[in-house]
Amino acid sequence: MSDKKGRVFSGARPTGRQHLGNYFGAIQNYVALQQDYDCVYCIVDVHALTTMETTENIRQNTLEMALDWLAAGIDPAQSILFVQSHVPQVLELHTYLSMVSPLGKLSELPNFKEEVKNHPNNVNYGLLGYPVLMTSDIVLYKTNVVPVGVDQQSHLEFARETVRSFNYRYQTDVLIEPQMKLTAFPKILGTDGKAKMSKSLDNHIEMASTPEETTQRVMSMLTDPQRLRRTDPGDPDVCNVYSLHKIFSKPEDVERINRECRTAEIGCVQCKRLLAENINSYFAPYREKRAALEEKEDEVWDILADGAKRASAIAEQTMIEVRDAIGLAPRQRA
Ligand code: SF4
């Protein structure tokens, strides 16, 4: 490990092309963390299987996600970027950790209850064991720090407890208890102005959209519902277009829109056009880089293969220590 503050691990399911919510909810933070930490970033395709009805698009979605992460600034020269299923040691560790994971605890976790509600016809064993697999992802790479949002706190607390249980049961200290880096991510609402931005709700704006597609999506955004006519004054505080202006526009423009919306000096069409322009300018360098990467798909797969090789080296060392701590028969005689 280098002289950085420690190792960070984070993963996300391969959901394909990323949207603004993904960018501000994870990717931007991933890029920033590279400054201070050795980062291990994983596209968790095995996790995706717990709720997936078809695997038809999983390869393409993995590629699209890698393209987005790389183009947005994840640097494979300093961080490890790989696909979860390419390092199968995680599945072995998942089995060992499942022996110290109480069923009662797993079934009480809020995310499990939520998933049961969302997928009542597919409550599978993998879904219940999801936090155990997540713990395996984290500890396999000797992670010190995990960036989490408020809604993931219970999973990380579960991971910490599992590490303590394993270390206690086998009287060892091979597994590192990860620290939580609680990060407040801005909540990005979708174009409907109500729900969190999400592909499944089709209320999203993709980072990789063309400027025309972006403009089209922005122009379809719902605004202050009280502003029925151009001459009606509006309330920017209830308008998601204004929330996005606060992220993408210059402070003086944000201040002007706030004022002119309330006096009906600015219309919603003009306000949205400016937002679309600013989103397009913000993502222009990323889009240029992504387009260049798309031309070199083989290089992207090579980056992922190299990441898996580097991740495997750490994983195998951890597993040698784990198997030894459990007391399993050695694979090779000394
Ligand atoms: Fe929203 Fe802008 Fe219309 Fe005001 S002018 S309601 S901030 S879109």
pLDDT tens, residue by residue, 25-75: 999 999 999 999 999 999 999 999 988 778 889 999 999 999 999 999 999
- N-to-C CA span, the chain: 27
pLDDT tens digits along 176-207: 999 999 887 888 999 999 999 999 899 999 99
- What confidence category does residue 331 fall into, taking pLDDT thresholds of 50, 70 and 90? confident
Q: Is 274 in the pocket of ligand 1 (CB under 6 A)?
A: no
Ligand 1 contacts CB of residue 314 (under 6 A) = no
User: Considering the chain, what percentage of its residues have pLDDT values greater than 90?
Assistant: 84
Q: What residue has token string 């909540």?
A: 187
CA of 279 to the centre of ligand 1 (A): 16
Read off the tokens for 200.
């499944």
- Is the CB–ligand 1 distance for residue 234 below 6 Å? yes
Distance 199 CA to ligand 1 centre (A): 24
Do 41 and 79 contact (CB within 8 A), yes or no?
A: yes
- Distance (angstroms) between ligand 1 centre and the Cα of 239 equals 6
Model confidence at 332, pLDDT cuts 50, 70, 90, reads: confident
Domains of the chain: 7-188+297-326 (3.40.50.620), 211-291 (1.10.240.10)
**Average confidence (pLDDT) over 279-290:** 98
The phi and psi torsions of 293 (rounded to 5 degrees) equal -65, -35
Mean pLDDT, the chain, as a whole number? 94
219 C-alpha to center of ligand 1: Å?
11
223, 229, 232, 237: residue to mutate for ligand 1 pocket, most atoms within 8 A of CB: 223
Asked whether 268 lines ligand 1 (CB < 6 A), one says: yes
Name the closest-CA residue to atom 5, ligand 1: 268
Residue 216, pLDDT > 80, answer yes
pLDDT of 96 strictly over 60: yes
Band (pLDDT 50/70/90 cuts) for residue 227 is very high
At 334, is the pLDDT very low, low, confident or very high (cuts 50, 70, 90)?
A: low
Average of per-residue pLDDT across 68-92: 98
The pLDDT score that the predictor gives to residue 1 is 53
Tell me if 275 CB under 6 Å of ligand 1: no
For ligand 1, whether the C-beta of 240 sits within 6 Å is no
Measure 17 CA to ligand 1 centroid, in angstroms.
28
Query: Cα separations (Å) of 274 from 191, 254, 256?
Result: 16, 11, 12
Say whether pLDDT at 15 is over 60.
Answer: yes
CA-derived radius of gyration, the chain: 22
